[in-house]
Amino acid sequence: TIYLGDSVLRLAGRGPVTGFGRRLAALILGVVALMIPSGVPFVGFFVVLGVFVFGLGAFYLEAAERY
């Protein structure tokens, strides 16, 4: 969700997410951006599933890099 929020901030002309406030803004923007399509009955399931799968993949890559 932070990646999605960061993408929206970059499209709005803001720089990359560096500080805590900008990270928090990107997280909130990403959550709001994901809540809109997840409200659609059939499509929402696949949006949530895709976010879950990508999140697990990112978690795995981070854990594998640190281990």
Please tell me whether the overall predicted TM-score, pTM, comes out greater than 0.85 for this model.
Answer: no
Distances (CA, A) of 33 to 6, 28, 63, 66: 11, 9, 27, 30
Q: Model confidence over 16-54: pLDDT tens digits? A: 656 777 777 777 877 887 888 878 888 888 988 888 888
pLDDT at 5 over 80: no
